[in-house]
Amino acid sequence: MSDADPAQVSDRAVQRGQGQVGSLGSGNHFLEVQAVDHVYDEPAAEAFGLRPGQICVMVHSGSRGMGHQICTDHVRVMERVMPRYGINVPDRQLACAPVSSPEGRAYLGAMAAAANYARANRQLLGEAARRVFARVVGRRLDLVYDISHNLAKIETHRVDGVDKRLCVHRKGATRALPPGHPDLPADLAGVGQPVLIPGSMGTPSYVLTGVAGSPAFASTCHGAGRAQSRTQAAKSVRGKELRDQLEAQDISVRGASMRGLAEETPQAYKDVSAVVESAEGGGLCRRVARLVPVGVVKG
């Protein structure tokens, strides 16, 4: 992101990021080997480089501790200045400032720097996967798409018949550009943006594409979403038991801890197929391909 301003990133955030670049992280972050088991839209799948039976790797990781620290630092600043701008919020997590204010510009510059760090992080993870596949199976991996979510971007959208510049903050959402959008590269202009929607380590994931006329500023869900807290999930199954269940389904699982695996049990997530069907029915996206897990690495 060209508007990144590293000067707005604190020394503490830099320190946290230095030791974590090239790492997955914990929680719902993962590297998953998947197989394409169904194609819904053949022209779009072909444009994305996807075909039935193909093996893919999906990575979910971001700006790690650096991004978390950037958020913490700038939320504190915004909490202090909100009274100056006449802003009241019901929860400190909603702390904010006008986009054009010094505090708003500082945050956007730091957040863009975190997004660039996240992209570098995923590039390293992708390169590690490429080297393993090249060594073990003698085949190369080609990139389908790389995109950040939990990100605010200045974009132009039509509101009440008028084009307006908006700050679109996608939290728990991801961008889904429609066919013909000017920000798409030429090879995707006719089909729209690839949208990567993970399910859980025991359920399918989806590749979608954006659609014209989206009522959500060219956005859709970015995953199944949790149905249980991590504490509830850990109480419902033991990590070793879950690993045995998944391996009985021919899904190989590797995790940093058994507790971490239990917290991410498939039962802790909503039905991703129902979530995607709802998003598609709401005019936010359309299905291109479904992928099923073969092997999962949890940080």
Q: Which CATH superfamily is domain 9-225+269-298 in?
A: tRNA-splicing ligase RtcB (3.90.1860.10)
Q: Please, are residues 103 and 78 in contact by the beta-carbon 8 Å criterion? A: yes
**DSSP string of 250-273?**
T-EEEES-HHHHHHT-GGGB--HH
Q: Binding site: what residues are annotated?
A: 28-32, 60, 149-150, 198-201, 205, 222-225, 298
Average pLDDT over residues 158-165: 94
Q: Please, are residues 117 and 17 in contact by the beta-carbon 8 Å criterion? A: yes
pLDDT band at 125 (very low <50, low <70, confident <90, very high): very high
Active site residue 181: no
pLDDT band at 294 (very low <50, low <70, confident <90, very high): very high
pLDDT of the residue at 299: 77
Q: Binding site for GMP: what residues are annotated?
A: 28-32, 149-150, 198-201, 205, 222-225, 298
As a whole number, the mean pLDDT across the chain is 95
The phi, psi pair for 6, rounded to 5°, reads: -60, -20
Sequence-separated contacts (24+) of 153-160 with Cβ below 8 Å: 154/99, 154/108, 155/217, 155/218, 157/217, 157/218
Q: Domain spans of the chain?
A: 9-225+269-298
| pLDDT tens by residue, 89-114 | 999 889 999 999 999 999 999 999 99
3-state secondary structure of 41: coil
pLDDT of the residue at 73: 97
pLDDT of the residue at 18: 94
Residue 106's alpha-carbon distances to 63, 92, 136, in angstroms, are: 17, 19, 46
Q: Binding site for Mn(2+): what residues are annotated?
A: 29, 60, 149
pLDDT of the residue at 93: 86
| pLDDT tens by residue, 231-249 | 999 999 999 999 999 999 9
- Quick one: what percent of the chain has pLDDT higher than 70? 100
Strands 252-255 and 219-221: unpaired
Average pLDDT over residues 210-215: 94
pLDDT at 27 over 80: yes
Among candidate residues 38, 68, 157, 222, the one labeled active-site is: 222
